[in-house]
Structure 1
């Protein structure tokens, strides 16, 4: 089951391949491909343009990764904040890591031979996506730790292999297209190297697609990787819970003021109005019951318990419903739910749980309180069973 879940998570990352083909990302890939082509044919004059485009492109890749890692599946628009070197230093850090690794392995060639260096560099290339993920989820120092990088790979092996496959497949396709596609000519005899243009486009797309997939892996497998996005279902639920607790606090203050002043009807109407507009009326009612149970006056808790028990039984939270009834019976041995059928259910639950005392307390005065003939007949049968 765990392996199946991992495979499903890995396949889920494939959907992020489409993100660079939408909106601002697609426009950026097309325009930057043309600019790089112009820079390549501009000689030394094109070098500043090439450096500028590559720098912006790498920074956009990290911006795309961050956005997807936060659960947003739309590419960002290139802005000044993204390309500002002060705001984004991770691309420079990645280039520095790769450069240092290349220089060190080159120096090792004299001792271990070229074959060993080639294998070591191949292993280093495999670790590059892990370095990028660690930079996004952790820190630059952690991205230099091989053990941390291996842990990242081992936690998401299927997804990581897909990212490597995308990069390898894109490189192979881009290389093949150089051979297959002829050069195209525009009017006025302006020749356009179509194979090189397509190759640049594919490689730039593959780079952004890889960053989008890495961001998707960070988001989808955030629990395994220990990553906390700024947006996630957990954070949204936590935020909603805090807001709900704030509203409950305000409601309790209002109810307490009304109840203390003797305006019991106003207090109960405030509760009903809140429950009608609440997205979680059952949970709110339970919270109100817990708060009211701490008050010296037990009457409101009594009434809330009567409202709460039917909701709990309807949602099959039978254990919670029985516990509420037990709590109320400890403070008032005459407690009964509003409906006879709900009382029968509680009696049966208590009997099945071996709590005959609670069952007998709920049976006391049953016929005096409820007029339902069917419920009274069932209650009589239950009473005979409990006497055995």
Structure 2
């Protein structure tokens, strides 16, 4: 399922700035190729910018942004991005080392080693983006990445292989037209370079997508993710609760109990998650020396917990309040009966008896009174 999900990233290089870059850079590279030695500086610049753009695209997609970046001045700066050079160095050193082994291992064994190394190039790029250059030199780390996301990794390799095949086929099928430029450039060659550029950027987009979608398996932390957004919302919510508690505490300490409760009611009415807010307020108020507000909040919280079938949480709130004041009771007789039954079924007869104590004096519901008498008799057995 995760592997197929990465296919959506194939369309990113075909949009906006990425598509413009592919078309323009394809022509510039062929112009450089037809320029001889004079075209070499242009070829080096275009290649450098293109590979840097690939890593910029990877980083943006890995951060959860499914749009191609615009080629900026920072990408053109040779000292700003070292990963493309690092990748070239790794490939070059690997080629050199395997060439040295040709006489001892044989040409066939060296060919197999180089094929394996070629298959690990996407893993090297992924490791450079997630963990840094040093980790990308560790074969065990590379193999672990492949093992953790085998389906997605196979798709990346298939995209590269399929694009190479398509580029070769297009050169054969397309008519031998030439672009209307000062230098005669065959159209099939432009298309071939464009297809290969697309494949390279598409593979980078897929690598970024794999890092984002499989971030937990790969241990990758993007700057944007549902987890980070939730943590940010949690911190913001905690800050708002702190400010609200400070205001409520000031009103309560000054004796304006009605104002304090109206402040709470207004906050809960305006909140998209009043139950969570009420619970947070209860936890904060439980730390106050004066237990009265915590008792009042608990009386509002208990019916909501029971309605949500969070019976264990409801019993925890009751026990916590009874430890402070054994005269604490829920507002509704039906809630008290439910809590007594829960405590009894859980083997907590002490809590059940405490809740039943003074039941007839506190509640006027005749039906509930009869049930309370029956429960009290059961608890005495």
Task: Name stretches of at least 5 consecutive residues in structure 2 with no aligned partner.
Answer: none
Q: CA deviation at 1:13?
A: 1.3
- Alignment of 1:138 onto 2:127: no
For residues 1-388 of structure 1, the aligned pairs below 5 Å read 8-184=1-177, 193-388=186-381
Q: CA deviation at 1:306?
A: 0.5
Q: CA deviation at 1:39?
A: 2.3
Specify whether residues 317 and 356 from structure 1 end up closer, same or farther in structure 2 by C-alpha distance, changes over 3 A only.
Answer: same
Specify whether residues 322 and 187 from structure 1 end up closer, same or farther in structure 2 by C-alpha distance, changes over 3 A only.
Answer: closer
Task: Name stretches of at least 5 consecutive residues in structure 1 with no aligned partner.
Answer: 1-7
Secondary structure of the 2:80 match is coil
Specify whether residues 334 and 127 from structure 1 end up closer, same or farther in structure 2 by C-alpha distance, changes over 3 A only.
Answer: same
Q: Which region of structure 1 is more displaced relative to structure 2, 219-228 or 360-369?
A: 360-369
Residues 171-212 of structure 1 show CA distances to partners (whole Å, capped at 9, x for unaligned) of 111112212222225789996523222211111111011111
Secondary structure of the 1:140 match is coil
CA contact (8 A) 2:179 2:187 kept: no
Residues 312-350 of structure 1 show CA distances to partners (whole Å, capped at 9, x for unaligned) of 122221100111011112222222212222222212211
Alpha-carbon separation, structure 1, partners of 2:122 and 2:46: 22
Specify whether residues 237 and 270 from structure 1 end up closer, same or farther in structure 2 by C-alpha distance, changes over 3 A only.
Answer: same
Specify whether residues 256 and 186 from structure 1 end up closer, same or farther in structure 2 by C-alpha distance, changes over 3 A only.
Answer: closer
Alpha-carbon separation, structure 2, partners of 1:112 and 1:244: 63
Residues 15-64 of structure 1 show CA distances to partners (whole Å, capped at 9, x for unaligned) of 11111112211121122122223223333332222211111110000001
CA contact (8 A) 1:183 1:192 kept: no
Q: CA deviation at 1:363?
A: 2.3
Specify whether residues 243 and 292 from structure 1 end up closer, same or farther in structure 2 by C-alpha distance, changes over 3 A only.
Answer: same
TM-score by length of 2: 0.94
TM-score by length of 1: 0.92
CA contact (8 A) 1:177 1:195 kept: yes
Alpha-carbon separation, structure 1, partners of 2:368 and 2:215: 52
Q: CA deviation at 1:215?
A: 0.7
Q: CA deviation at 1:254?
A: 1.5
Specify whether residues 355 and 10 from structure 1 end up closer, same or farther in structure 2 by C-alpha distance, changes over 3 A only.
Answer: same
Alpha-carbon separation, structure 1, partners of 2:106 and 2:65: 47
CA contact (8 A) 2:30 2:185 kept: no
Alpha-carbon separation, structure 2, partners of 1:34 and 1:18: 21
- What residue is the counterpart of 1:4 in the other structure? none
Q: Kindly tell me the number of residue pairs found equivalent between the two proteins.
A: 381
Q: CA deviation at 1:382?
A: 3.2
